[in-house]
Amino acid sequence: TEGGEHTGSGGGIMLAYARDPSDSGKIHANVKERWMKGDEEVLDAARSWAGFVDEALEVLRLRSSSSPVSQFLPERFCQLVDENFDLRFKVYGEECLGWKNVYMVQIARAHNAAGKFCGSGGAIIVLPRPSTDLHALQAVSYTHLTLPTKRIV
């Protein structure tokens, strides 16, 4: 939208999924093996992910105690979601994650929404920011992925 204003049904968490999901689980064994061998990159990543969770919970706790509560998740929460994905991409790589899964996150980010996997292969969560153009995001989603028109949270 002109000026970058939000033009959708509101904030919240949305789910997007590929029409033909991939199974990335078969390659995860490599990361488990690296963990078992004490690979510092994997151990550092695990510590970072735990820190992301702790900070995200604090952000949500502070949000729930503020008044009035915005329909959008706080920007720091969206940043943590993006950082989580970036670290996962660094540790696992595109071959493991699958280009279709990575592409879904890129679509979300191209429309100023945060995005990350919600499991292994085929689905991501999308967190709109106030400047996210949901109409444009949904329009591109029809050709590349499925993005429900209603938010899930």
Query: Which pLDDT value is given to residue 70?
Result: 63
**Nearest Cα to Cα of residue 24 among 90, 101, 80:** 101
Tokens of 84: 């989580």
pTM of the model: 0.78
pLDDT band at 138 (very low <50, low <70, confident <90, very high): confident
Cα–Cα distance for residue pair 127/99, rounded to 1 Å: 20
pLDDT digits (tens, 9 = 90+) for 104-124: 899 999 999 999 987 766 788
DSSP structure class, residue 133? -
**Which range (48-62, 78-92, 131-145) has the least confidence?**
131-145
Cα–Cα distance for residue pair 116/88, rounded to 1 Å: 9
Q: Where are the alpha helices (DSSP H) in 24-128?
A: 25-36, 40-65, 75-97, 99-110
